[in-house]
A and B are shown apart, each in its own frame.
Chain A
Amino acid sequence: MTEKLPGSIDETVNHLTSGKYVADRSLATALYLALKLGRPLFLEGEAGVGKTEIAKVLSETLGRRLIRLQCYEGLDVASAVYEWNYSRQMIDIRIAEAAGQQDRQAIEKSIFSEEFLIKRPLLQALEADPSGEPPVLLIDELDRTDEPFEAFLLEVLSDFQVTIPEIGTITAEKPPIVIITSNRTREIHDAIKRRCFYYWVDYPDAKRELDILSVKCPEAPEEMSQQIVAFVQRLRERDLFKLPGVAETIDWTNALLQLDRIDLDPQTVNDTLGTLLKYQDDIEKIKGSEAANILEQVKADIASR
């Protein structure tokens, strides 16, 4: 049930909405361009603002396979692109030997064929789905890997091809939809970014965050959602080491729902602060009187509306 690619920005917005992703029109524009022109989309932003989610939603709404490459330092070709199935190759050599086969080149050719290739995400992404459509490739947290791997990605991302010395160059018939995310723990080289459409995913404003909550946690009472959003928005104005992202807002709402709360009170906020803030310093700073202050302001604001 593969869907067609969206034909306009409006359709892109609808697509994302149908996948329960409340997107800014600016993000939809960048995404639409990436889909339309067959280029990777490079998403940068703080943790928990929904970068990875976009790829998931895309694969879901388009009915495409999602191939995820989680990056880490020292990620190498063997775990990102391909590896030979050594044990099978060994056995094959032994069998050839037992059969008395002498032709070295024939053995070499047979054991370095696609049959013995273990395909890792990047190589898998060059293959079309059974339906004939290319998959969605998510290269997650590219900033975690190192420069040599980044350089390797250049070939993959610009020509959608991979060179395997023993076999040759494998090229994608149709380029996959590529989403790259980065948390900016270091700058990604311009050469990569040049090949992509770039978008900085920012924290949402209050209105959009409320929309997100109503989609993601529909069972939360309207009033509490408003309080939650206003509280989080105010937290983001504070001088904290790690500001809460949208993911944290959703987590918090779910936590409050699990505790059967329909209204925020200082005690509950203190008890559940750990779902919002992830650094002890930040929690210490906000816990207690500060949290109560913010809550008071929030409630006053909502009452005066």
Chain B
Amino acid sequence: MTSKGVQQPGNGDQKLPPGLALLEKLEGNKLVPNIMHFGRVLRAAGLPVGPGKILDAVSATQAVGIESRRDFYWSLHAVFVNRRDQHEIFDQAFHIFWRDPHLLERMLGLVMPFMGDEEEAPPPEPPSRRVAEAMSSGDEPEKPEEEKDPEIDVEATLTASANELLQKMDFEDMSAEELAKAKALISRMRLPIQDIPIRRFKRSNHPAKVDMRGTLRAALRSGAAVIPLQYRTRKTRTPPLVILCDISGSMGRYTRMVLHFMHAITNDRDRVHTFLFGTRLTNVTRHLRQKDIDIALDSCIDAVEDWSGGTRIGECLRDFNQFWSRRVLGQGAMMILISDGLDRDAGRGLSKEMERLHKSCRRLIWLNPLLRFEGFEPKSQGIKAILPHVDEFRQVHNLESLTQLVEALNRQMVRRQEEMTQWREAM
């Protein structure tokens, strides 16, 4: 670790890297260690700051100089900030750190207890709540995923609000036997969404397009007397998949099963994004990527704060359209919406948002647990608003229906469209 030399600034026999040594000469003994400490603070706050970045920051400072605080700010910003959402944390940390180094030291004592031995650290007073929270989340090095993706930390702190129904979902009441069976079945499920051809090519034995490069190489191999044609064909790839799942009270009985299903899919392929919504939207992609389902579900429960509350489908879809659709629905994504369509706002504004959603993805599949009831008719306001804008309408209430879903997606496109027309006529 680069920062070793800085923990004890008085320790003369430790050699600094060449870039640092240079600045050391220029700026006396303080600035470089401070930049290093600052980098460590940011790292603790969840920004991906490694030793390389700290060196970069030093050379950036060297290039810009420290005459102007503003320029100094933006040079460090250019190095340490990697994403727009990191700006806020950087900003707060910068202002606290470079105004009052004492405060900083105390905060460092918070983050790095092993440093506290050398200095008498008075009890730290919490600075700005955000930074303090971000920092305290950093002192558990055994959780590497926090360093990899600071986004989740930030979101959790951003979305806290007291006046919504905060309930923890109860995962306990599924019998062990039931759970094991469901787990085993679901974990074997695969979604046979058709691969789509992409613009890359691979070798092929079937005469299609001629692979000129391969052909020439083959020709030379045989002494250029004959030119054996080599072929290539388009590669295919699974499209990105985005799952939006309703976790409101009315969906309560199905949520757990559906989460297992989502977990299985997330770990089966790349480019899967998962969102949960009730009264607000939560991105749980990172959490569900955990291989172990129990860890994944636990961290999902922690991340989501509106389990089993009401539903504001329109509102949540609006958030999704506004903030996420352009980021995750690129490259021809498939979309699965899991919801019963029962909306607290009685479908207000829902139709518009559904239309926007439908237009931004390749295919939109709606899974609805209510569909299992005999004589289900799409009469509720929410359902009426959603139905015209989906490409598929399927049930999802038990394991069997999940299996059927897999089969249905495998079926011919034409037959699926016929089924959809029936639903629209029933409205």
Contacts and interface: CB of A to CB of B under 8 A. Distances in A.
Nearest to A199: B78
A182 to B, nearest CB: 11
A73 B322 contact: no
Interface string A78-108: 0000001010011001001100001010011
Given A97-B225, A185-B330, A86 B212 contact: yes
B330 A186 contact: yes
Contacts of B227: 90, 93
Nearest to B326: A185
A97 B224 contact: yes
Interface in A164-182: none
Interface in B207-244: 212-213, 215-216, 219-220, 223-225, 227
Interface in A130-152: 143-144, 146, 148
A190 B82 contact: yes
B82 A194 contact: yes
Contacts of A159: none
Contacts of A194: 48, 50, 52-53, 82
Contacts of B82: 190, 193-194, 198
B331 interface: yes
Contact of A29 (B64, B83, B84, B224): B64
A47 B215 CA distance: 42
A111 B87 contact: no
Contact of A26 (B50, B74, B201, B352): B74
B306 to A, nearest CB: 22
B328 interface: yes
A207 interface: no
Contacts of B83: 44, 187, 193, 198
A29 B213 CA distance: 45
Contacts of B215: 86
A146 B60 contact: no
A30 interface: yes
A36 B75 CA distance: 12
Nearest to B355: A281
B216 A185 contact: no
Q: What bracket does the count of chain A residues touching chain B fall in?
A: 35 or more
A104 B216 contact: no
A194 B64 CA distance: 20
B350 interface: no
Nearest to A35: B63
B206 interface: no
Contacts of B60: 33, 37, 197
Interface string B56-74: 1001100110000011011
Contacts of B216: 84, 86, 89-90, 93, 111
Contacts of A104: 220, 223-224
Nearest to A108: B220
B198 A74 contact: yes
A185 B78 contact: no
B49 to A, nearest CB: 10
A213 B3 CA distance: 48
A186 B70 contact: no
Contact of B75 (A33, A86, A193): A33
Nearest to B215: A86
B200 A74 contact: yes
B77 interface: yes
Interface in A9-31: 9, 25-26, 29-30
B327 A9 contact: no
Interface in B16-39: none
Contact of A200 (B52, B87, B212): B87
A36 B78 CA distance: 13
A9 B78 CA distance: 14
B293 to A, nearest CB: 25
B92 to A, nearest CB: 16
Given A33-B60, A37-B63, A107 B220 contact: yes
Contacts of B326: 183-185
Given A104-B223, A199-B78, A200-B84, A186 B328 contact: yes
B81 interface: yes
A281 B352 contact: yes
Interface string B318-329: 000110001110
A241 B322 CA distance: 6
A108 B82 CA distance: 46
A184 B85 CA distance: 12
B199 interface: yes
B149 to A, nearest CB: 9
A76 interface: yes
A104 B59 CA distance: 52
A26 B77 contact: yes
A252 interface: no
A32 interface: yes
B195 to A, nearest CB: 14
Given A146-B198, A241-B322, 16 more contacts: A9-B64, A9-B71, A25-B70, A29-B64, A32-B64, A44-B83, A73-B198, A74-B198, A76-B199, A86-B216, A93-B227, A111-B216, A186-B327, A187-B327, A193-B82, A198-B81
22 contacts: A9-B64, A9-B71, A26-B70, A29-B71, A30-B78, A32-B64, A33-B60, A33-B63, A33-B75, A73-B198, A74-B198, A74-B200, A76-B200, A86-B212, A86-B215, A97-B224, A104-B224, A184-B84, A198-B78, A198-B83, A239-B322, A241-B356
What are the 6 A-B residue pairs with the smallest beta carbon separation, nearest first?
A: A74-B199, A29-B74, A185-B330, A86-B212, A197-B78, A30-B78
